[in-house]
Each structure stands twice: as structure tokens, then as C-alpha cells.
A and B are shown apart, each in its own frame.
Chain A
Amino acid sequence: MVHVTRRELLKGVAALGAAAALPDPRPRSADAQTTQKRELVVAQGGDVSKFDPHFSTSSNDIRVSFNIFDNLVSRHPDGKLHPGLATEWKLTAPTTWTFKLRSGVKYHNGDAFTSADAKFSIERTYDPNSKTMVATALTTIDRIEAPDTVTLIIHTKKPDPLLPARLAFYGGQIVPSKHVQAVGNDAFNAKPVGTGPVRFVSWVKDDKLVLEANPDYWGGRVDMDRLVVRAIPETAPRIAALLKGEVDIITQLPPDQGERVAGNASTRVAGALYAGLYVLAVNSKRPPLDNPLVKQALSLAIDREAIVKELWRGRGVVPNGPIARGDNHYDAKLAPLAYNPGAARDLLKKAGYKNEEIFIETTVAYVSNDKQMAEAIQGMWKDVGINVNVEVIEYSVRAQKNREKSFKGVFWSDPTSTLGDPDGMMWRLLGPGGPQDYWRHPRWDELGNAARFSVDEKFRAEAYREMTTIFLEHFPWLPVIQPYEDYGLQKHVEWTPNPNQQFEIRRFNFKFKRA
């Protein structure tokens, strides 16, 4: 789901080598650890494109929109759901969720936030006339009632255990209904108005975005006056800007640059285990990948420990199945995916593998280290006698193939756990009609479908356990790593990142260290 962000225009390998060879800049005095700064400068790898939160799901955009806007429910860095614009919510009937809304909240333009705004915002996402880009985010909803200004009753088509989680992610940002209708979509996108901790001031494309603290924020005013967001597309200059103290936080810190930031006197690294996995998704329709034994062999032939250690400098963990660590129903007792080249060879023999060519279609820097991992895995697979071919494709070609479901073999995917639950990850992507629907298994489908519409967590736990077992026999994905998403920070910044790219600057996770 990361769009343009992770693609770096040019890989600065040579230059980064030069960077590593140079001594660190002069040491800074100890007082650099505290600051009187009133301005927080954040540099990300690409610029914002749109401010209207219902018109983009790209990570560069949502890093900003989650700060201008609030959701009814908020997922904090601890990975759990906390009150946002809704103070509490409960299931009042199998298909009815009732939300109690916060009163006294004002939008940046002074409008009062009420249940009418929440109803309008949610309905706007799937209203065909508003032509949003998040029309599929909240489609489990049947209708919404707003009986009074602080109550919202949402009726779902079928029982939806994950509705609060859905409302915490993209599509769930609450916009001001009166204002949007008065000024129209274009003007609203150009000058967004939300309830969030920062409000829009100005934007020059690819230069800088300036936001200022919302003094009346319901969650408490953040400890700064201005938030400046800059786009620094190249990794080496982004790191240089941090080391030099020009920026306070940088996103997308590659694992091999962590030491440089950590070794500098005034900066440090903060990471969150990615809410999702990096996997090689498999076109299981294409022989020999339609044979589960072959896919088991492919999995056994990947030395994931080596990938984590060498390519990721230890900044990741080896997955144990299709469910990310930190998600609902993650089974901590399950062993990490094994590396056993001998067993892989035996399985290939048993499968009757006849040296058919297997393609790895890799992007370059669509997900970090994708090409490097593809080449490493190519070597590992060759070692067990697989005829493997790596093909490099451009990001937009990948998007096209994704849409047409025309991948030739295995390809990188970074399934994000949008809901903190297997339903928002493996079922969303691998389920019938999903974007990676290349493999069907009647029992797996039955369980996935039942778990989606069950509000009984015990039943869901059982279902996902059995789905994991089936998954580990058929490998519709070959999970490779659950990496850390690292950020570089000035030591005078105290900030805890969120695992799912929901870059949030709020009182509960950010402050400047003051002397």
C-alpha cells in the first residue's frame, strides 16, 4: 500500500559509500540534547499530493492527513484502538455499532463537530457522486443514523467485528460537512480544514508544507508552534539534513544507514515493527507454482535469518506465518519459518519438479531492499536446484500487473495490516476477488468468510489458527521478513512512531526535550 514513497529516484549506492567513509561531522555539545525550538521539521521521501483525506491512500499523504484530521477511533503506537472523536463505542446488536462522540470539539475554522459531520464523512467515502479514492474502505456499512449531536449509530450489512478498526484507518478521517459542501471538493483539497492537532497554513509543492499547532486541540495542544514537512527524495541528502540539524525527524531510514544516525552525537534511530509483512506473493495458477510441494520447497530454501542479519542489519524478525506480530490472533508459540535446504531438495524431487523456470519479478526500492532480497533469494533457490530468473519491473508496471493479475511467478508485496487483524491483511489481499487472488482453497475460504462476519472472538481465533495451518501447506505468499520501519530523530525530539505508517504528531507520542 505504500505508493510512490519508497521508490527512490536514484539509488545513491556510490555516494552512500562515500558518505560512510567520511568522518562524522564535528561533535555537538551536550546541550544539543535539549532545545528551545518551537518548530518541528519533518523530511519525508516524497511530497504530499492531496490534502483531502478521502482522495488519497498514499503514505506521503496520509502522514499529513492523519494530523490535520481526526478519526472517530485512533490507533496509537501501542497498536491498540483508543478514543478519537468518539469517546466510546460498543456493539449494540449483531449488525449495529453505537458510537458516543466527543462534544465541544471545533474544526480549525470554528465550526462545531457533531454527529452530522461523522455521518457525512463516512457516507462521502462511498457516495458515487463524490468520486473518492477510498470508496471500498467502509463498504461493510449499510446505513448510518445520527439521533442526536453526540450519537452515531452505524448499521452494517452483516456483523462486522472490525468496524472500529476500519474507522481508525484511511477513509475514516472526519471532514467538516458544512464547509466541504459550501466550498466544494477542489477548494477543500487546496485548503483543508479538520479537527486535528495541526492546521494548514501554506504549501509550495516539492518545497515545503507549513502547518501550525491547533491551540484548542481536544487532545491537548502539541508542544510546538509550527510543523514543517519537507520532501527530500534522495536518501543521502535526507540523512545529511538530519545530521546537520536542519530537520528534526526523517522518515524511511534504510537499515544500512542506521549506524550512521545512531553513531552521531546528536541523533538517534527510532523504529516500529512494521504492521505487516514483506512477502513474495505467488501466482499459484502458474505451473509449477500450482504444486504446494514446490512452494513448500521454495519457503524452506530461503535463509531468512541471513536476510535479516545481512541485508537488514538485524532490523526485522522472521515471520512464522501469514499473521504479523502485533496483530490480533498472532500465535507467538508458532516457530519462525524454517530454513532447510536438504528438505527443500527432497520436496522438489517428490513434487516431480522438472527444472521449470520460476520468475521473481522485483521492483527497485518499492519496498526497501526488494532487489537485494530478490537477488539473495535467487542465489538460495539456485543452491537447491531451482531454475530461477529475476526480472526487474518499474513501479507503475507492477501496479498494472497487480491490477491485471498478470504476474509471471512470485513478486514483492508488503501487505499492510490495515486493521491490526488478519482480516485486514491476508483475507483482504488473498481472499476471493482480492488483488492477490491466485489461489483458492474451499476450507480456507469458508473460514475466512466466517471469521470476517463473526463477532465471536473465540471463533475467530480458531478460524485463523486453522487458516494458518492451511496457509503453511500451500503458501499463497512466501513471507520473508517483518521489518522495522526506522526513522532518524534529533535527540531533542521525543517521539514514538506508529507501526502502520500512520505518522502521528500528538501529545501522547511527541514532545521536545526542554532544558
Chain B
Amino acid sequence: MSFSMRVVLGFLAPKLLRALVAVWLVTTVVFVVMRLSGDPVPLLLPPDAPTSEIMRVRRDLGLDRPLPVQYAVFAANILRGDFGRSIHFREPAFAVVRGYLSATVELGLTAFLLAALVAVPIGMFSAIRRNSLVDHAAMGLALIGQAAPTFFLGILFILVLSLKADLFPTGGRGDWTHLVLPALTLGAFAMASIARLTRSAVLDVLHADYIRTARAKGVAEWLVIAKHTLKNAALPIVTITGLQFGTLLGGAVVTETVFAWPGIGRLAIQSIYNRDYPVVQCAVFLSAIMFIVINFAIDAIYGLLDPRARPR
């Protein structure tokens, strides 16, 4: 085994193992909780269906078997990449979830880019021009962005920007104009927290000794910011930005509901209400994987930015 392979394995193997355990735990907890929380069958049948009919459907769905048996079947199927059939849609659960993926990624990515591209420069500017009018205005807005409930913000955008100003559609998926309001709504919180964190991270660095040294030896101010400040402030910014990215992809339930956006968060919530076990399990499984991938990416970027975080 070459040296670099060993390094990579030594770095990755424990992380991978932890990730696998996390995925297993999450899927198992979801499996158990879903089954304890209620039965999908009364939701499928007309309310006057007799017990014999309910029992018949339970048998057809395999829900009459003991929980450990159901779990064994579930686990064996997952290992083969089979998430079972959606009870609500009568289609393979994975195909159902896959149908929602593109909308989720489209919205999550737009909101993320919007948040990061707006928030990082604003946060930096606020820090450099601390206590200026712009700083106060930006941080005031950020506070509102963090405090306003998504639901309220979404409806407000619809009423003001769509209904009254007639700039954007009220909801649904379509061309780019459909994307603006949900992305703004979804991105607002992330934008606010990234801006605030960027500001404080940059401020911290600006007070550091090496910045004073740089200035003292006559380095141009733009170079001080670009070369010395940014590089050192980047670590916390990358962390929060990465975590926000995960949240934006997986936690868009309210935004998706308000804007009738066909995303995974909404699917997951509806599937929980419908007790559509296979779809919930599949969606949670994929979300867990996604978070793990993002975490890996953050770790990797850390390594690039900060030599101290590199595996030795």
C-alpha cells in the first residue's frame, strides 16, 4: 500500500464507518417510529370499511407480520437497493422520491447560491466598514431575516411581490420566475446567518496580530483584506455555509408547502401523514446520505484551507 493510500484510508475509514453507523441508526429509528405512530390502512379505505377488509389490506401489504420480520425484510431489501413500494402511490418508493429530487436540488441550490453570494460580501463589507450606515442596515435586515418565520415571509412575498406588484407567479414550478420567491424565502434564514457569521469572523481576524503586522509593514489595505484576512476567516464561513446547504436541501418543507413546490420535504411530511412507510424511509435514507456527503466535502475543504486540519 502506498503512502498516500494509507493516508487517505486512515483519514476516511473511521469517518466512513461512523457514517454507516449513522445511516443505519437513522433508518432503524425511522422504521420503528413510523410503525409505532399509526397504521396506513384506515387512510386507504373508505371510512365505513369493516375490520375484515382492513385486515385483508394489512395482509396484502405485509403489515400483519411481526415487527422483527418486517424489519428483516426491510433491511435485506435495502441492501439490494430496494426501498419497497409506496403504499400511497402504488409505485416503487425510490421512483417516487426520485421524481421530487430535481425540484429539491433546483430550489436548494438556487437558495444556497443566492444566500452565499449575497451574504459573504455583505458580511465582509459590514466588518470592514464597521458601524457604518451600511453595516447597521445590513445587520438589521439580517436580524429580521433570521427572526421572521419562513411561513410568514413566504406569504408576505406572495402578497406583496406577486399579487400586488405582479412581478412573480404565486407558486408552482415553471421557468426561472417561479424560482425567485421560494428561493428568497428559503434562502433568507441562511443568508442572514451567513452574513452575521461572516461579519464576526472577519472582525475577529482584523484584530489579529498578523494583520497589524501586515499593516505596519505597509501592505496595501486591499491586499491585507484579500490575502491575510479572507484566508483566515474562511474556516468558520465554510462550516456554516456547508451546514446551511444541507438544511436548504432537506429542510424546505414550509417553503415548499407555501409555494406548492414539488420538493422532497413536502413529500416527506405528506408521507408521514399518510403513514407511507417506504417513502418516508427512502427519503430519510437519502437525506442522511446527503448530509454525510456534505460533511465529507466540508472536511475536505478544511484540509485545503487549513494545513493543521490535514491528516498526518
Q: Which residues of A contact B (CB under 8 A)?
A: 1, 3-4, 7, 9-10, 12, 14-15, 18-19, 22, 25, 46, 49-50, 52, 55-57, 128, 131, 133-137, 170, 186, 189-190, 204-208, 230-234, 236-237, 240-241, 243-244, 246, 394-397, 399-400, 402-403, 428-429, 433-435
Out of B46, B156, B163, B274, name the residue touching A136 (CB < 8 Å). Answer: B46
Q: Nearest chain B CB to A331's CB is how many angstroms away?
A: 24
CB pair A207 B173 closer than 8 Å? yes
CB pair A396 B173 closer than 8 Å? no
**Contact partners of A22 in chain B: CB under 8 A:** 159-160, 163-164
CA distance A208 to B38 in the complex (A): 29
CA distance A134 to B57 in the complex (A): 11
Which residue, of A4, A137, A237, A399, has the highest number of chain B Cβ atoms within 10 A?
A: A237
Which residue, of B37, B53, B155, B166, has the highest number of chain A Cβ atoms within 10 A?
A: B155
CB pair A205 B96 closer than 8 Å? yes
Q: Which residues of B contact A (CB under 8 A)?
A: 37-39, 41-51, 53-54, 56-57, 60, 88-91, 96, 99-100, 103, 151-152, 154-156, 158-160, 162-164, 166, 169-173, 254, 257-260, 262, 266-267, 269-270, 273-275
Q: Nearest chain A CB to B272's CB is how many angstroms away?
A: 9
**Contact partners of A434 in chain B: CB under 8 A:** 48
- CB-CB nearest 6 A-B residue pairs: A15-B155, A206-B262, A399-B42, A207-B262, A232-B260, A396-B38
The chain B residue sitting closest to A19, CB to CB, is B159
CA distance A46 to B262 in the complex (A): 12
Q: Number of residue pairs across A and B with beta carbons under 8 Å?
A: 161
CB pair A18 B155 closer than 8 Å? yes
CB pair A244 B46 closer than 8 Å? no
Out of A7, A206, A230, name the residue touching B100 (CB < 8 Å). Answer: A206
**Contact partners of A246 in chain B: CB under 8 A:** 169-170, 172
Which residue, of B56, B60, B96, B171, has the highest number of chain A Cβ atoms within 10 A?
A: B171
**Contact partners of B169 in chain A: CB under 8 A:** 244, 246
CB pair B164 A230 closer than 8 Å? no
The chain B residue sitting closest to A1, CB to CB, is B47
Out of A4, A10, A15, A186, name the residue touching B274 (CB < 8 Å). Answer: A4
CB pair A25 B163 closer than 8 Å? yes
**Contact partners of A55 in chain B: CB under 8 A:** 90
The chain A residue sitting closest to B103, CB to CB, is A207
CA distance A4 to B60 in the complex (A): 22
CB pair B156 A244 closer than 8 Å? no
**Contact partners of A19 in chain B: CB under 8 A:** 155, 159
CB pair B152 A49 closer than 8 Å? no
CB pair A57 B163 closer than 8 Å? no
